[in-house]
Structure 1
Amino acid sequence: MGGALQYLEEQRNARPELAEWYDAMADLYQKKLWHQLTLKLDQFVSLAIVQAGDSVIQLYHNFITDFELKINLLKLAHFAVIVSRQYSEREAAISYLEGVVEKLHATKELRIEEPILYVKMQIAAFNLEQGNQKECQRLLEDGKSMLDSMTDIDPSVHASFYWVSSQYHKSRQEFAEFYKNALLYLAYTSVESLSESFKLDLAFDLSLSALLGDNIYNFGELLAHPVINCLIGTKVEWLYYILQAFNTGNLALYRELCHVHGASLNAQPALVVNQKKLLEKINILCLMEIIFSRPSEDRTIPLSIIAEQTRLSIKDVEYLLMKSLSVHLIEGIIDQVEGTVHVSWVQPRVLGMPQIKSLRDRLDNWLGKVHTALLSVEAETPDLVAS
């Protein structure tokens, strides 16, 4: 106990601007108020001045180790991950975290899997940074098995798993998998807790992966997420409007944006390489918008109408329909003799405000027709209505 208090006293003298913090921690430590001390430490290590240099490493080895197994072990895992990020050498950081995992195993406490998994995900992240994808993949596979076997899991544990998983798939340019895991990460993370630069980078990566990911045809969920608004007012704002164009299947707007922002688009190699894929995707979304805009009782559509709006030949329209059928975006029958397609089902999706307004206008129009019909019946059979 003396060594821990002595360290706080030394730091108090060396860093008078943090004296109140060290006094408070010393007081809680002496009173053995471990929960309150944990909360105070949580606030302390989040200070920018504390995160500079190796301050947190010294705090851990000279103070926290004295009582680390007396506090909430998941909180200990959180502290350990913060400490590990201050190591300049990744090998040293991994070695440190592996030592923490051994300590956690040795406690034989219940629910020890949560803190262990949290720490292991940081080890996986460090391996990925070093280019060791194979070890990162192994840790992710083990982590998935652990997650599947647990219940009532702390959101921070879920978030750590899905973040590392998203970065693994990003490193392999697996756009759809990155997109899925990054959205799951956000589902377990408070957006307000993220820095502006982090949110902007994530919004940019999510947008690119949504555009380029196989079988991603619903952009409504992404556009409804507050993180995507970080694109507005930045140099990459054009990406936000391209997402809007894809979400509404607005082929004319997409072509205009490509013309206006050609230099920005050409600066993204992934978009340049996948131009044909992007055009096919927005044509499919244009097709879905054509179907959506028609009344449910009028879903037999001439191929010529689709060709006119997509600027495709009838042959290419047939290919577009077959592609849409194959990925289960629609269900229906193509009648080549009549030159029509009858659509019996369209995949549900999250609607944007313009689409919701269109749906509301159609509903209002239908209700207006029903009201007019009822008034007509009333006028023709007044006696029957009166009775």
Structure 2
Amino acid sequence: MALQYVEAQRQARPDLADSYADLADLYQRKLWHQLTLKLDHFLQLPAAQTSDTIIHLYSNFISDFETKINLLKLAHFAVIASRQYPDKDAAISFLEGVIAKLRETRERRINEPILYVKMQIAAINLEKGDQKECKKLLGEGKSTLDSMTDVDPTVHASFYWISSQYHKARQEFAEFYKNALLYLAYTTVESLSESFKLDLAFDLSLAALLGDNIYNFGELLAHPIINSLIGTKVEWVYHMLQSFNTGNLALYQELCRVHNSALSAQPALVQNERKLLEKINILCLMEIIFSRPSEDRTIPLSVIAERTNLSISDVEYLLMKSLSRIWNINDFFPLQVHLIEGIIDEVDSTVHVSWVQPRVLGIPQVKALRERLDAWVGKVHTTLLSVEAETPDLVAA
């Protein structure tokens, strides 16, 4: 049956004739590993992506030996086939059938392939608009994932990708940002198409700007995917990230002026204009603190007011927000880690900062840190020479 199907397709599809011939040869020789590799290549061919080619290949060929190959690879093939179903309910039924067959095998490690297939079902439910079912499957998937060890990266990537898309659909920017970065941790950027990288880089950038409690842009700016924005019509968002990362209020305002039409086309940015201004002012404050030597962390409020274009009272509010923690009254754990520690002196109109939340630093910030370390080393060396010069007198005494 399987060989007859392949032979019929070889005759019917001259563009894929050589590939079908290779599949038939490996099948006859029962070289299951080599056949798996050949199938993996075949399913990526543009000619195989048309119509229902993969659906029929799975039903008439792969299903004949599905328990003889790596089950996680089988799950990959099933997921690819499911994407060709025009009807989403039919796709879910197909995948549920695959899960049932996986459970019938005697293999011990079936959790990985089952979880991988379930995440595709969650994705289809999300496409249908059934967020409740998607959330349920994600919750079950998270529990399964946490109970497993030595998990294949593709399974992790699948879970975090679907989770990111769920939070994107709900406009939960911070959760999307976290899950999308975790997805990238289990995915090689080189394996992604240029259009996919551009879309993801743009979505990540917006999420970083709009996400609650995201004040560290260094991790995103250091990731190679962000370079996808450079040289495109949305390069402005890359420069906006840079302005936030360095707390450069003047650059941010200039970008808003120059790219006003592009910004207006993003409703989320327009609706959160005040929130964005507050965030960059906080980052401006953190940059002011970072740029000062550790022994000079008592800062006049007027200095902060000048850099942020705020009144003294607004600066005090900004400081209180940066100093504060938001607590969950149900479990007594902070929902927001404070950004700085210190004391506001309203009499002298200053703030003394004793601690700043660590951040991933960009190249200019690392250079500034190096200069300060060099200056510190110079001071230590001068002190050492002074002590050595005074030592004979101390010994004589």
So what's the TM-score if we normalise by structure 1?
Answer: 0.96
Query: Who is 1:26 aligned against?
Result: 24
Query: Who is 1:188 aligned against?
Result: 186
Q: Deviations over 1:216-255 (max 9, x none)?
A: 0000000001111111111100000000000011111111
Counterpart CA distance in 1 for 2:321 and 2:295 is 24
Contact kept? 2:298, 2:353, Cα under 8 Å = yes
Query: Who is 1:226 aligned against?
Result: 224
Aligned residue type for 1:352: G
Query: Who is 2:332 aligned against?
Result: none
Q: Is structure 2 residue 14 aligned with structure 1 residue 4?
A: no
Counterpart CA distance in 2 for 1:149 and 1:24 is 40
Within the candidate set 347, 350, 364, 2:374 is matched to 364
Query: Who is 2:327 aligned against?
Result: none
Query: Who is 1:340 aligned against?
Result: 350
Q: CA deviation at 1:368?
A: 3.0
User: Please, which moves more after superposition, 125-134 or 376-385?
Assistant: 376-385
Query: Who is 2:170 aligned against?
Result: 172
Superposed counterparts of 1:45-56, under 5 Å: 45-56=43-54
Aligned residue type for 2:197: K
Counterpart CA distance in 2 for 1:150 and 1:373 is 56
Counterpart CA distance in 2 for 1:188 and 1:12 is 37
Counterpart CA distance in 1 for 2:186 and 2:246 is 28
Secondary structure of 1:343 counterpart = strand
Aligned residue type for 2:48: V
Q: Deviations over 1:260-285 (max 9, x none)?
A: 11111111100000000000000000
Query: Who is 1:58 aligned against?
Result: 56
Q: CA deviation at 1:355?
A: 0.4
Secondary structure of 1:333 counterpart = strand
Counterpart CA distance in 2 for 1:379 and 1:119 is 74
Q: Is structure 2 residue 335 aligned with structure 1 residue 349?
A: no
Q: Which structure 2 segments of 5+ residues have no match? A: 325-335
Within the candidate set 84, 91, 96, 2:94 is matched to 96
Superposed counterparts of 1:49-198, under 5 Å: 49-198=47-196
Q: CA deviation at 1:108?
A: 3.9
Q: CA deviation at 1:303?
A: 1.1
Q: CA deviation at 1:44?
A: 0.7
User: Please, which moves more after superposition, 357-366 or 76-85?
Assistant: 357-366
Counterpart CA distance in 2 for 1:210 and 1:346 is 20
Query: Who is 1:245 aligned against?
Result: 243
Q: CA deviation at 1:27?
A: 1.6
Aligned residue type for 2:376: W
Query: Who is 2:38 aligned against?
Result: 40
Calculate the aligned-residue CA RMSD, in Å. 1.6
Contact kept? 2:174, 2:207, Cα under 8 Å = yes
Aligned residue type for 1:362: R
Counterpart CA distance in 2 for 1:57 and 1:360 is 59
Within the candidate set 308, 312, 315, 1:314 is matched to 312
Q: CA deviation at 1:341?
A: 1.2
Aligned residue type for 1:68: E
Counterpart CA distance in 2 for 1:383 and 1:33 is 87
Q: CA deviation at 1:20?
A: 2.4
Counterpart CA distance in 1 for 2:180 and 2:124 is 18
Secondary structure of 2:358 counterpart = coil
Aligned residue type for 1:142: E
Contact kept? 2:297, 2:354, Cα under 8 Å = yes
Query: Who is 1:301 aligned against?
Result: 299
Q: Deviations over 1:45-98 (max 9, x none)?
A: 111111111111111111001000111111000000000001111111111111
Aligned residue type for 2:22: A
Query: Who is 2:272 aligned against?
Result: 274
Counterpart CA distance in 2 for 1:123 and 1:17 is 32
Counterpart CA distance in 2 for 1:381 and 1:134 is 76
Q: CA deviation at 1:332?
A: 1.2
Aligned residue type for 1:222: L
Q: CA deviation at 1:329?
A: 0.6
Secondary structure of 1:349 counterpart = coil
Counterpart CA distance in 2 for 1:119 and 1:381 is 75
Aligned residue type for 2:261: A
Q: CA deviation at 1:12?
A: 1.5
Counterpart CA distance in 2 for 1:4 and 1:320 is 69
Counterpart CA distance in 2 for 1:124 and 1:34 is 30
Secondary structure of 2:171 counterpart = coil
**Count of residue pairs brought into register by the alignment:** 383
Q: CA deviation at 1:383?
A: 9.2
Contact kept? 2:15, 2:47, Cα under 8 Å = no
Superposed counterparts of 1:368-379, under 5 Å: 368-375=378-385
Q: CA deviation at 1:375?
A: 4.9
Q: CA deviation at 1:186?
A: 0.6
Q: Which structure 1 segments of 5+ residues have no match? A: none
Cα 1:29–1:315 shift into 2, 3 Å: same
Secondary structure of 1:344 counterpart = strand
Q: CA deviation at 1:109?
A: 2.0
Aligned residue type for 2:206: L
Q: CA deviation at 1:379?
A: 6.4
